[in-house]
């Protein structure tokens, strides 16, 4: 069963048709077990380049490679049955030219079985989005705070305040007009996210944006409390699995040191005996 109650896997047209309807539920996943967990609850599962920070300990997403995205995309694909899988195009894999973007996006889709790719940027990537969609590659856009441009922004700062709001609106409009089927709005003022949602014809997916968006996405490790002390203000923690795991590991370590683990229940009996009856 799909997250919308159907019996088939969700497609790009299914997601595009949800504009103004029941909000789209989206989460990231990077591994097969997590993909299996989120699949029955989500409409969209994003293999985000956030994998670099979440699983590989990188300081930003800039060091993520195409090979890493393909590796994790394959893993997530194995765990999905109903949700639409989208894979992030990493930094440096699409900015040079539409031709470069097509070559790399086609590789990602062929290798991973993704239903679409996601590109960061607005007006600057509109030509590339148009080029890709004209050649059969569905694209999700991403405007506002775009992590691949973190150095240009001077950090992970909120975007779209004051006069900068016009830029974000132009970006979202450009992405929609270029043929993207949906667009992520990240870390922008609530009123601006609401306005963009009203004005563009494609679904908006909010993260640090507005409940008025057509859907919401979070990094799954953030909302489960697995990502250490890092806690963006726009993330609601639905569990504290990190502290629970820490307590479990501490209990294990204590029992090993005190020789309370393994107990008799966790070892094998003596029969049949060998090696000179276990050295008598």
Domain identity same for 72 and 210: yes
As for how many domains the chain has, the answer is: 2
Among 47, 89, 23, 94, which residue's Cα sits nearest to residue 220? Answer: 47
Domain identity same for 90 and 128: yes
Residue 36 has pLDDT above 80, yes or no: yes
The CATH code of the domain that includes 150 is 3.20.20.60
Q: What is the pLDDT of residue 1?
A: 43
**Per the domain annotation, does 65 fall within a domain?**
yes
Q: What is the pLDDT of residue 272?
A: 61
**Per the domain annotation, does 217 fall within a domain?**
yes
Among 169, 252, 156, 279, which residue's Cα sits nearest to residue 207? Answer: 156
Q: What is the pLDDT of residue 154?
A: 74
Binding site, annotated residues for Mg(2+): 49, 88, 120
Residues of the domain holding 159: 12-240
**Per the domain annotation, does 6 fall within a domain?**
no
**Per the domain annotation, does 7 fall within a domain?**
no
Q: What is the pLDDT of residue 112?
A: 98
Name the token pair of 259.
């020789």
Residue 39 has pLDDT above 80, yes or no: yes
Higher pLDDT, 273 or 181: 181
**What secondary structure does DSSP assign to 124-177, as a single string?**
GGHHHHHHHHHTT--EEEEEES-GGGHHHHTSS-----TTHHHHHHHHHHHHHH
**Beta carbons within 10 angstroms of residue 210's beta carbon:** 19
Q: What is the pLDDT of residue 152?
A: 74
Binding site, annotated residues: 49-50, 88, 118, 120
Residue 6 has pLDDT above 70, yes or no: no
Higher pLDDT, 151 or 249: 249
Please state whether beta strands 116-118 and 84-88 pair in parallel, antiparallel, or not at all (unpaired): parallel
Indicate the range of 4-13, 88-97, 205-214 predicted with least confidence: 4-13
Mean pLDDT (the chain, rounded):
93
One of 67, 163, 166, 186 is an active-site residue; which one?
A: 186
Higher pLDDT, 50 or 229: 50
Domain identity same for 261 and 136: no
Indicate the range of 76-80, 110-114, 275-279 predicted with least confidence: 275-279
Instruction: Dump pLDDT digits (tens) for 192-221.
Output: 999 999 999 999 999 999 999 999 999 999
Domain identity same for 221 and 254: no
Domain identity same for 85 and 140: yes
Report the percent of the chain where pLDDT is more than 70: 92
Domain identity same for 125 and 152: yes
Residue 133 has pLDDT above 60, yes or no: yes
**Per the domain annotation, does 4 fall within a domain?**
no
Instruction: Dump pLDDT digits (tens) for 172-186.
Output: 999 999 999 999 999
Domain identity same for 128 and 259: no
Domain identity same for 143 and 256: no
Q: What is the pLDDT of residue 8?
A: 85
Domain identity same for 151 and 268: no
Q: What is the pLDDT of residue 156?
A: 77
111 noted as active-site residue: no
Q: What is the pLDDT of residue 233?
A: 86
Q: What is the pLDDT of residue 149?
A: 83
Domain identity same for 200 and 257: no
Binding site, annotated residues for 3-methyl-2-oxobutanoate: 49-50, 88, 118
- Whether 215 contacts 174, CB under 8 Å: no
Domain identity same for 197 and 271: no
Domain identity same for 206 and 191: yes
Q: What is the pLDDT of residue 110?
A: 98
């Amino acid at each position: 069963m799909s997250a919308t109650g159907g019996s088939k896997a969700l497609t790009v047209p299914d997601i595009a048709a949800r504009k103004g309807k029941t909000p789209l539920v989206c989460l990231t996943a990077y591994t097969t077990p997590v993909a299996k967990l989120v699949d029955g609850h989500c409409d969209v599962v994003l293999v985000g380049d956030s994998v670099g920070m979440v699983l590989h300990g990188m300081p930003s997403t800039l060091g993520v490679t195409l090979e890493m995205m393909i590796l994790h995309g394959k893993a997530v694909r194995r765990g999905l049955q109903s949700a639409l899988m989208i894979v992030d195009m990493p930094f440096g894999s699409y900015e040079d030219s539409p031709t470069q973007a097509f070559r790399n996006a086609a590789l990602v889709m062929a290798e991973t079985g993704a239903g679409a790719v996601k590109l960061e940027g607005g007006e600057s990537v509109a030509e590339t989005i148009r080029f890709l969609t004209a050649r059969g590659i569905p694209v999700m856009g991403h405007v506002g705070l775009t992590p691949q441009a973190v150095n240009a922004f001077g950090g992970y700062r909120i975007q779209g305040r004051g006069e900068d709001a016009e830029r974000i609106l132009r970006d979202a409009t450009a992405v929609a007009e270029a043929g993207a089927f949906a667009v992520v709005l990240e870390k922008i003022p609530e009123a601006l996210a609401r306005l963009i949602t009203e004005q563009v014809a494609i679904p908006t997916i909010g993260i640090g944006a507005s409940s008025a968006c057509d859907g919401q996405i979070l990094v799954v490790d953030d909302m489960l409390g697995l990502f250490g002390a890092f806690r963006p203000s726009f993330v609601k923690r639905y569990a504290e699995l990190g502290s629970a795991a820490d307590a479990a590991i501490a209990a294990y370590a204590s029992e090993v040191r005190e020789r309370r683990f393994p107990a008799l229940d966790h070892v094998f009996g003596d029969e049949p005996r060998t090696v000179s009856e276990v050295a008598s």
